[in-house]
C-alpha cells in the first residue's frame, strides 16, 4: 500500500476495515470534470445546447439539476468556451456542491460562509437564491481573498459582503439565520494517489492542526447562529478526527442537534454519527463529509 502514506492506510483500515479501505484507495484517482450552471446568468437548457453544439458529451445527475459531468473532455477544454469565461458556469466537484443543497438557502435569510475562498459555495448560494440572500463571506488569506472577490464578480453576485477575517475571531455582535462551515481540512477525501507530492504534504501534523481549527470554527459558528438556526458542517476529509469526533462533543453538550440527511445515487461510506453523510471517493466524487445541524434553544 505504498501508493499512500502508511499512516493514512492504517488510519483508514482502523476506521473502515480492510474492504472499505481498498475501495477508498481505488477511489484515490483523478476525476471527471464537473461543473454547475450559474442561474444568475444562464439556464440549464442554454448550457446543454452549447455543449452539444461544441460536441461535448455530458451527463446529468438526479440529485442536482444544475450539475453536469463531462464524459470526453477536460477542464482545459471547458475553459475555452465563452460560458466559462463570462461566468455562466462554475467548475466545481460534485461533492463540493452538496453542502449548499442541504443548507437550502432562500432569499430572505442572512447567511455566513465562514471559510469562503475560492467562492464556489458562496456563489452557489447566490445562484440558488437569485442573488437575494444577504451573504457574508470570510477569508483570512489575502491571496485567497482576491480569488474569492474575482469569482464573485465573475459570477455576477451582488449581495455578498466579503471580509478579510479569520472567522474564529468574528465579533459576537454578528448573528445569522444560517451558516455554512466548509471547514479547512487535510483533504483526505480528495487525494490522487498518483500525485508525486502526496507524501510531502499529507502528514499527521496536518490532520491534527486541521482538527483543532475545525473545533474552534464550529464553536464560534454556534455562537453566531440564531437559536433554531441551521448550520452545515462539511469537510473534504473522510477521517473521523476531522468529522464525527469534532461534532460529537458539541452534540453531547446539547449545543446542536443533527438533522438527518441523505442523498440518492451517490457512493457513501459508513459514518459513525447517525444522520450525517459521508461520500466515498471515486472517479466522479471526492470524499466528503456533510452534517446538517440545528442550534438548540
The rounded percent of the chain whose pLDDT value lies above 70 is 99
Give the model confidence (pLDDT) of 72-129 as tens digits. Answer: 999 999 999 999 999 999 999 999 999 999 999 999 999 999 999 999 999 999 999 9
pLDDT at position 31 is 96
Of 83, 114, 137, residue with least CA distance to 233: 114
Are both 6-31+94-295 and 32-92 of the same fold?
no
pLDDT at position 2 is 57
CATH homologous superfamily of 6-31+94-295: Vaccinia Virus protein VP39 (3.40.50.150)
- Whether a cis peptide bond, with omega within 30° of 0, leads into 118 is yes
How far is CA 120 from each of CA 36, 38, 94, rounded to the nearest angstrom? Answer: 10, 10, 11
Q: Quick check: 1 pLDDT over 50?
A: no
Of 13, 12, 32, 11, residue with least CA distance to 282: 32
pLDDT at position 9 is 97
* Residue with grid cell 452557489, as numbered in its chain: 124
Quote the CA–CA distance of 40 and 106 in Å, as a whole number: 14
Of 26, 82, 94, residue with least CA distance to 54: 82
Q: Quick check: 297 pLDDT over 90?
A: no
Quote the CA–CA distance of 89 and 120 in Å, as a whole number: 11
Domain ranges of the chain: 6-31+94-295, 32-92
Catalytic residue among 138, 185, 236, 280: 236
280 is catalytic: no
Give the model confidence (pLDDT) of 14-72 as tens digits. Answer: 999 999 999 999 999 999 999 999 999 999 999 999 999 999 999 999 999 999 999 99
Do β-strands 288-295 and 34-37 pair in parallel, antiparallel, or remain unpaired? unpaired
In sequence order, the β-bridge partners of residue 202 are: none
**CATH dotted code for 32-92:** 3.30.70.1170
Q: Is 64 exposed, middle or buried (0-12, 13-18, 19+ CB in 10 A)?
A: middle
How far is CA 94 from each of CA 224, 227, 282, rounded to the nearest angstrom? Answer: 28, 31, 11
Amino acid at each position: 500500500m505504498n501508493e499512500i502514506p502508511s499512516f493514512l492506510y492504517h488510519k483508514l483500515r482502523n476506521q473502515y476495515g480492510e474492504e472499505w479501505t481498498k475501495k477508498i484507495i481505488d477511489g484515490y484517482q483523478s476525476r471527471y470534470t464537473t461543473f454547475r450552471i450559474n442561474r444568475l446568468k444562464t439556464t440549464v437548457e442554454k448550457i446543454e445546447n452549447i455543449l452539444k453544439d461544441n460536441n461535448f458529451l455530458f451527463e446529468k445527475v438526479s440529485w442536482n439539476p444544475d450539475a453536469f459531468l463531462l464524459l470526453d473532455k477536460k477542464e482545459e477544454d471547458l475553459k475555452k468556451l465563452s460560458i466559462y469565461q463570462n461566468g455562466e458556469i462554475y467548475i466545481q466537484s460534485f461533492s463540493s456542491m452538496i453542502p449548499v443543497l442541504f443548507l437550502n438557502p432562500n432569499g430572505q435569510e442572512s447567511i455566513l460562509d465562514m471559510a469562503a475562498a475560492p467562492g464556489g459555495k458562496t456563489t452557489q448560494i447566490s445562484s440558488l437564491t437569485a442573488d437575494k440572500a444577504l451573504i457574508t463571506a470570510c477569508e483570512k488569506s489575502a491571496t485567497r481573498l482576491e480569488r474569492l472577490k474575482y469569482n464573485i464578480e465573475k459570477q455576477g453576485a451582488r449581495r455578498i459582503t466579503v471580509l478579510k477575517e479569520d472567522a474564529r475571531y468574528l465579533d459576537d455582535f454578528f448573528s445569522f439565520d444560517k451558516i455554512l462551515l466548509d471547514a479547512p481540512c487535510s483533504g483526505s477525501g480528495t487525494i490522487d494517489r498518483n500525485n508525486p507530492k502526496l507524501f510531502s504534504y499529507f502528514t499527521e501534523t496536518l490532520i491534527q492542526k486541521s482538527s483543532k481549527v475545525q473545533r474552534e470554527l464550529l464553536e464560534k459558528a454556534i455562537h453566531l447562529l440564531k437559536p433554531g438556526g441551521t448550520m452545515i458542517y462539511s469537510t473534504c476529509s473522510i477521517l473521523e478526527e476531522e468529522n464525527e469526533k469534532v461534532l460529537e462533543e458539541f452534540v453531547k453538550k446539547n449545543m446542536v442537534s443533527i438533522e438527518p440527511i441523505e442523498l440518492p445515487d451517490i457512493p457513501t461510506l459508513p459514518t459513525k454519527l447517525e444522520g450525517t453523510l459521508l461520500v466515498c471517493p471515486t472517479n466522479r466524487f471526492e470524499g466528503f463529509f456533510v452534517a446538517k445541524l440545528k442550534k438548540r434553544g
